[in-house]
Amino acid sequence: MSAEFKFYLIKEFQRLKEQEQKLLGWSAKRELAKLNYHIHTDAIKQNLLPKELSAKQTSIVYANEADVINIAMFGITAKQWRDANTDLNGNIRDYANINELICLSNMENLNAVFINENMPQNERLIKLNQIAIQQMKILQEVETRKLLK
C-alpha cells in the first residue's frame, strides 16, 4: 500500500468518524428533547386540561401547546410545516439542527414553568420567542467560535 493511499485512507476514516459523532450528537439531543416533552405535557395535564374534555379535545390542547413552542422557535405551526413539506416524513422537530434541539428542550422546560405559574398563553408565546431568539444567537456564536479555532 502506497504512503499516499494510506494517508488518504486515514483521512477519510477520520472524516467519517467525525460525521458519525455529529449524527450521534444530534440523536442524543433529539432524545433529550423527547424526554423533556414529558415535563411539558405534565404541566399541561396538571394545569390546562379540565377533566371533562374528550380525548379529541385533550389532543387539541396538547397540539395547541406544542404549537406555542413551534411558533416561538420556528415561526410556524406543525400543520404549516407539514403543508409546506409534503415530501418529508416526520415533523418539524425531526429536521431541527442540534442548536435548535437544545433551544427546543429549553423552551419546553420554560413553557412548563410558565404554565405552572398560570401565565396566559399569549404572554408565554412572546416571552418564549424572545428567549428562543436570544438563545439561538448565543448558540450560533459559540458554534462560530468553535469553527474559528
93 within domain boundaries: yes
Q: What pLDDT digit, counting tens, does each position of 29-68 carry?
A: 667 667 777 888 999 999 999 889 999 999 999 999 999 9
Residue 123 belongs to some domain of the structure: yes
Residue 1 domain-assigned?
no
Number of domains within the chain: 1
Three-class SS of residue 90? Answer: coil
Task: Answer whether residue 48 is part of any domain.
Answer: yes
Beta-carbon count within 10 A of 25 CB: 12
10-33 per-position pLDDT tens digit? 677 676 766 766 665 656 666 766
* pTM for this prediction: 0.73
Cell of 93: 422537530
- Specify if 58 maps to a domain: yes
69 burial type by CB count under 10 A (0-12 exposed, 13-18 middle, 19+ buried)? buried
Domain limits for position 82: 20-148
